[in-house]
Homo-oligomer: A and B are copies of this chain.
Amino acid sequence: MSDNSFGRLFRFTTWGESHGPAIGCVVDGVPPRMPLAEADIQGFMDKRKPGQSRFTTQRREPDIVRILSGVFEGMTTGTPIALMVENMDQRSKDYSDIADRFRPGHADYTYQAKYGIRDYRGGGRSSARETAMRVAAGAVARKILDHVLGAPVTIRGALVRIGPHEIDRSRWDWGIVGDNPFWCPDAEAAKAWEGYLDGVRKAGSSAGAVIEIHASGVPAGLGEPVYGKLDADLATAMMSINAVKGVEIGSGFAAAAMPGEEAHDAMRMKDGKVAFETNHAGGILGGISSGQDIVLRFAVKPTSSIPIPRPGVTAGGEEVEIRTTGRHDPCVGIRAVPVGEAMMAIVLADHLLRHRAQVGL
C-alpha cells in the first residue's frame, strides 16, 4: 500500500512532486458552516514559503493557495476541501546530473530500492516541498479547533537549538519569535546564530536544529487509549516531516534521568480546578491531554544537499563524490517551524473530533 493520507476524522491527503505542475491536498471531515477563505490559509503559507531570508532556499515560489471545492459562499459545506498550489520556479535542468546518482543523506537510493524508479527532479515526492500542503491543511485544522471549542487554541513554535547552539530558556520571549529569521525566542541567541549560520553556509556545510511546539488552550480528555494516544499520534506527525530524527514530549529524554519524585508533576487545586506544579509530562498522561500546555520538541538533521563533496554512488555502482550546488536551505530546520505547528494543529483537530464522536463535548 502507499500512504499519503494523515488523520482519522480530520483527514488530509497530499499529492505532487517538487518539479511537477502543482502540489495539492484534499482535506476531508471538516465540520460544516465554518467560515473559510483562501486568506485564512495564505498567512500560514507565507510563514513557510522559501526565499524569505538568506538562510533559506532562494527558490522563488509565491505558494498561492487556491480552494477548489468544499467551500460555498465563504462557508465550509462538510464536503472535501481541495487545495492546490502551482509550482512556479522549477528548474529541472539543475537536477539532471543526479538522475543516475544516489546522494548521501537523501532518499534517492531508498526510493530507487523500493520502487525501481523515481522522479529525481528536486527530490520528486521526497522533497520538503510536500510540507507546504501540511501547512495549508494545518490552517484549516486551526479553524476547526477554535470553531468547535468556541475558545482559542494557541499553537506556537520556536527554534530552540541550531547546530550545537541552544537558546537560554530564561530569555524566552514569544513576542520576538517573528522578528528574526530563525523563529528564535531568545533575542541574543538569534543574533549569535546569524554569524554561526553564515559561517556554515560559506563553509559549504549545513546545520541541524531542534524545534519546540506549544499548544495552549487544549482541554483535558483528548487522546485515545492505547494505539491512538495523543503523544503517539504527535510522534508520528512530527517524525513524518522531512529530515526529522527524534521527537520528545515534555521533558522527554531528560525525564528518564530524573528520580521518580521529580519526574511526576505534582497536582494541586487552584480556583477549584486541578493545577499541576510543573509540566514534565508535556500536557499528556496515559496518552490523554491533561489540560496543561502540550509541549514537544523534534530534531531536524542538517540539510543533506551541501557544496562540500561527499561520497556517494551511481545507479551503475560507481563510487563518486557528490557536491550539491543548487538552491538549498543551509538549515532546513528553520522552515520546519510552521510545519511542526501545522502538524500539531492537525493532530489536535483530529482528536477533538474523535473525542466528540465517542464521548460528546
Residue of chain B at shortest CB distance from A221: B114
Classify chain A: how many residues form its interface, as a range: 35 or more
Most chain B CB atoms below 10 A, which of A119, A261, A288, A310: A261
Q: Does A116 contact B (CB under 8 A)?
A: yes
Chain B residues positioned under 8 Å from A152 (CB to CB):
none
CB pair A226 B111 closer than 8 Å:
no
Shortest Cβ gap from A34 to chain B (Å): 10
A163 interface residue (CB < 8 Å to B): yes
Q: How many copies does the complex hold?
A: 4
Could you list some 24 contacts between A and B, CB below 8 A? Answer: A1-B357, A2-B30, A2-B228, A13-B13, A13-B80, A15-B68, A15-B81, A15-B82, A22-B82, A30-B358, A32-B117, A33-B117, A77-B115, A111-B286, A114-B288, A115-B359, A125-B226, A126-B226, A235-B239, A245-B251, A252-B299, A263-B302, A272-B317, A277-B311
Q: How far is the CB of A278 from chain B (nearest CB, A)?
A: 10
A287 at the interface (CB under 8 A from B): yes
Residue of B nearest to A130 (CB): B226
Residue of B nearest to A277 (CB): B311
**Is the C-beta of A246 less than 8 angstroms from some C-beta in chain B?**
yes
Q: Which of B13, B15, B107, B232 contacts A5 (CB 8 A)?
A: B13
Sort A-B residue pairs by CB-CB distance and give the 6 closest, nearest first. Answer: A107-B286, A105-B264, A3-B228, A206-B260, A208-B256, A246-B248
Cβ–Cβ contact A353 & B357, under 8 A:
yes
A327 on the B face (CB < 8 A):
no
Chain B residues, Cβ within 8 Å of A326: none
Q: Identify which of residues 245-269 in chain A touch chain B, using a CB-to-CB cut-off of 8 Å.
A: 245-253, 255-261, 263-269
Q: Say if the beta carbon of A20 comes within 8 Å of chain B.
A: yes
Q: How far is the CA of A224 from the CA of B17 in the complex (A)?
A: 15
A358 lies within 8 A of B78 (CB): yes
Q: Is the CB of B78 within 8 A of A115?
A: yes
Contacts A17-B79, A232-B240; A109 near B274 (Cβ below 8 A) = yes
Chain B residue contacts of A256, Cβ below 8 A = 161, 163, 208-210, 245-246, 299-302, 333
Q: Tell me which of A9, A246, A319 has the highest count of chain B C-beta atoms within 10 A of its own C-beta.
A: A246
11 new A-B contacts, CB < 8 A, other than A2-B79, A229-B239, A248-B253, are: A2-B28, A77-B125, A79-B124, A104-B265, A109-B220, A205-B259, A231-B239, A245-B251, A258-B302, A354-B357, A356-B356
